[in-house]
Structure 1
């Protein structure tokens, strides 16, 4: 079994998103944060031996982490064929299924959803769609959002009979990859919400 440090080393081999789609708000999560979040999920028995869905998988760093921590199977879901191909390239495992489709069309029941949804800069509350779909297929959800969205997220979660177990805070460092970025790096205060619902 990998240690958290070894997990980060393995993730450093993943190819990042080089030409992100601005409309889809594609951002690569940094290696240390991905390792920290998935290690938390692993220690809380939400990964090993479980079936996982990675919504908006991007370069596959979250789902790939789950596989490195002995997930039983991971579904990688993204509307962008380029991201599916990138995930497929990064993830070297047969315990995978890749879905180039809208997340709302993913109906397979899983144990845990891990997701890094759009922040809603281009489309307000785009993350709401991700949460709704995650709640339809999983009892446990790890979902990344801006900390400033805390009130909205927690009200939405409550309306769907899920509870917030914890929020893991972190700084999301955005490199200058999109055209409207003027600084070389941006830091966004974010958190990973760990959500628990009724058994499906």
Structure 2
């Protein structure tokens, strides 16, 4: 069975970090984006994984990958996107550069493109964009106001997670807890956002609370 290795996309798009080694039975897993019906993969993360040399020309807005004497140039424009500091290239073009004989398939229900060596899961928004849109949409909701009120509590911890249902609907889960005396207070907010036209709208918001007694 083909194994998928997830590559972290944290950091600037063209900051060259450690290069992951590649094994023949592994496929790199990447967080991509959908734009006008096309699937795009992050250039830097893809290049690092396959051991390519990466360059960026700020003047021409061109990123390049070089491997085994061959160079792939990607100038921001048609077929190349620059989103939140990350350069994205059409999945098919990147896949063909590294493995021109790979067959590419698309699963519409999971928004996933696959080849023998790459798996790209499409995201219409980055996690940061989804968080910003959602926090603005719920800024006046009592659940969000309560959430913000606990940030100064003792031993406060939080995390968030974006769960895409399809290309126009995502669930954003805010989970946090804090210490209240000898009790641990745990709260989760589930927010569903749906896109209509070019606008993301709040569909529902639900809050769940739990009090955990000391052991």
Q: What range is the shorter-chain TM-score in?
A: under 0.3
Question: What TM-score results when the alignment is normalised by the length of structure 2?
Answer: 0.25
Higher strand proportion: 2
Question: What TM-score results when the alignment is normalised by the length of structure 1?
Answer: 0.26
Between Structure 1 and Structure 2, whose CA radius of gyration is higher? 2
Which one has more relative contact order, counting CA pairs under 8 Å at least 6 apart?
1
